[in-house]
Structure 1
Amino acid sequence: MTEFSLNHIDLNLLRTFDVLMRERSVTRSADRLGRTQSAISHALGRLREVFQDELFTRESGIMEPTARAKELAEVISRSLHEIRIAVDRHLNFDPSTTSRNFRIGLSDYTAITYLPALIETFSKLAPKASLNVVHAREPDALGSLKSREVECAVLGNARLDAENFEVMELSRDPMVCGGWKGNSAFTNMTLDRYLTSPHLQISADGIAAGVADITLQRLGLNRKVVATIPHYLVAPWVMKGTNLISVFGDGVLLALTEESETVIVPPPMALPDVTISLIFDKANELDPGHRWFRDLIRTVSEKQRMLKQGVYKRLEL
């Protein structure tokens, strides 16, 4: 076996490996790096030779990393990231000219709240940059952040216990009770009416108890959940024309249309707010590009808060 030397590898090979780990596709990696598929395949061959491992195997049309590739990725991804930060600290980051790729993880709820305004503002301020949005649930978010699949995440009621990550509160969204405008229960939503109504629960995994259930259990009460769905945007259309009711954070107000015929009222009991947080690796704190992106997210959060106030005023809530 030939003894390994850093002379056998260059930074471009490591960058190719890092992109392959994220994209799991030679075609997409070539597009991301601005190179030909042939060049990426050749680089993968060199990587396999250097590390003496297959690194990726094809399963159901997707490139799956081997155990050694996953182990290497933890070191290589973080090292490349820290190199870029070290270089960027000595350069002036300009969003109007950067071609940098930003990656953010959003849950179904925070996508409704943030995504339209985030993409609109991002594309105006950084026209040459790109933004990748990845669906993120709390159980998976930490892994996505550690693997650099995303560089930050915006989640509701996040409870991540990781000392290397910063959890920055963006807003607190009050819970509201919603349903079809033809549902007579909404003319005077009392606790009794709430408890006797059929409920639609929105849960990312379809299993976890909702905030309302936990609150009612503490009061010695319970509600009848007849269906559980994972997506907030579907809820108004599921409830339309029925007596189903649901509770959700008021960020959903920004996505409601007149066609959904959804009415909103305050819940008949006190429910905790949905705390929206921005989560990122503390190693990114001094990265000027990342700092700009964080500030952009905070700006969008404030903009959405003002828009919600307008919706509340229009609905006279």
Structure 2
Amino acid sequence: MDLHGIDLNLLVAFDALMAERSVTRAGVRIGRTQPAMSAALSRLRALLQDELFIRGPVGLQPTPRALDLAEPLGHALAEIQRTLEFTQVFDPSKSTVTLSIGLSEHAAFVVLPKLLASLRVEAPGIVLRIRNFDHRDAVISLLDSGEADLTVGVPHTPAGRILSASLFEEGFVCIVRKDHPHADTELTLDAFLQMSHLLVSPENERFGMVDAALGKLGLRRRLALTLPQMYAAPPLVASSDLIATLMKGVVEASGYREQLHVLKPPLELGTATFDMAWHRRNDVHPAQRWLREVIGSLFEKAAS
């Protein structure tokens, strides 16, 4: 049978006729007039090549073919109803849905512990699938393809179909090993320029924001090592003479804080903003909207 020729409303009408055994009452049940129900029954008979319902002494009597169809069609309609209701009503305490989140390296350290603690209480059945990305504009392809329901990372290149909201900011610090010669002195710009630097560049760029700030002053620093993994930087600095400029949160979460000396950068670097982003097509999806609200509330509480 060609499913393209089947009107779902006909199956709804069949289900009502099975329940009421009356064209009039079936019409009332689903909000249709008697002529509309009679027309639906005629179409069903032609489609299924069976009388389906025969008039009897106490209403319509289903044929064997109708009885065979009643249970599987009833289950199918109930499943469709549950599916449609899922997109309108979402109960996190009972849900077992899988939600996908794209996280940059630092965002994973910041977001996941708080989020998992919250889900353990509010939505223990929900499953999270984490996708990693390094380049800020990878969020666009992750969201376009549906590989991620939302992402958290530094701001991407604007795209009208991608919505976003700021979650948190990170300031920058310089780190050296605990017994470094500059550990107990104020870090001057001259001293900063004389040191060997470690550059963290997840996007594999040759220059970072420090280089951009120095470039405005007509200055350059001496790079000794460039690597894409920011959480690899603290242990490398702790065991060398290198200096690195990192987000403060990375240093605190690295596990190497006690082996490092933290210094104030000798030039203004501003802050790094981390955004939560999602595709416009998913803006009103209940489960995804709920997840965004949970993540947003975690950082609203931290800021208050």
TM-score bin, normalised by smaller chain: 0.5 to 0.7
Q: Which amino acid aligns with 1:203?
A: S
**Map of 1:68 onto structure 2:** none
Of residues 111, 117, 134 in structure 1, which corresponds to 2:108? 111
Distance 2:129 2:176 in 1: 33
Deviations 1:187-211 (A, max 9, x none): 2211111111111111113334211
Distance 1:267 1:259 in 2: 17
- The 1:291/1:256 distance shift into structure 2, 3 A limit, reads same
> When the two structures are superposed, what TM-score results if normalisation uses the length of structure 1?
0.65
Structure 1 contact 136–153 (Cα < 8 Å) conserved: no
The reply to whether residue 243 of structure 1 matches residue 241 of structure 2 is: yes
Secondary structure in 2 aligned to 1:220?
coil
Shift of 1:186: 2.9
- The 1:133/1:7 distance shift into structure 2, 3 A limit, reads farther
- The 1:265/1:241 distance shift into structure 2, 3 A limit, reads same
**Map of 1:262 onto structure 2:** 260
- The 1:250/1:112 distance shift into structure 2, 3 A limit, reads same
- The 1:173/1:281 distance shift into structure 2, 3 A limit, reads same
Distance 2:234 2:219 in 1: 25
Shift of 1:301: 2.6
CA RMSD, Structure 1 to Structure 2 (Å): 2.6
Higher radius of gyration, 1 or 2? 2
Of residues 160, 179, 186 in structure 1, which corresponds to 2:183? 186
**Map of 2:138 onto structure 1:** 140
Structure 1 contact 175–267 (Cα < 8 Å) conserved: yes
Structure 1 contact 200–226 (Cα < 8 Å) conserved: yes
Shift of 1:126: 1.3
Give the total of aligned pairs: 228
**Map of 1:286 onto structure 2:** 284
The reply to whether residue 102 of structure 1 matches residue 99 of structure 2 is: yes
Q: Which amino acid aligns with 2:100?
A: R
> When the two structures are superposed, what TM-score results if normalisation uses the length of structure 2?
0.68
Secondary structure in 1 aligned to 2:269?
coil
- Unpaired runs of 5+ in structure 1? 9-82, 307-317
Structure 1 contact 240–260 (Cα < 8 Å) conserved: no
- The 1:285/1:86 distance shift into structure 2, 3 A limit, reads farther
Distance 1:85 1:280 in 2: 22
Distance 2:84 2:160 in 1: 22
The reply to whether residue 149 of structure 1 matches residue 175 of structure 2 is: no
Distance 2:126 2:221 in 1: 48
Secondary structure in 2 aligned to 1:233?
helix
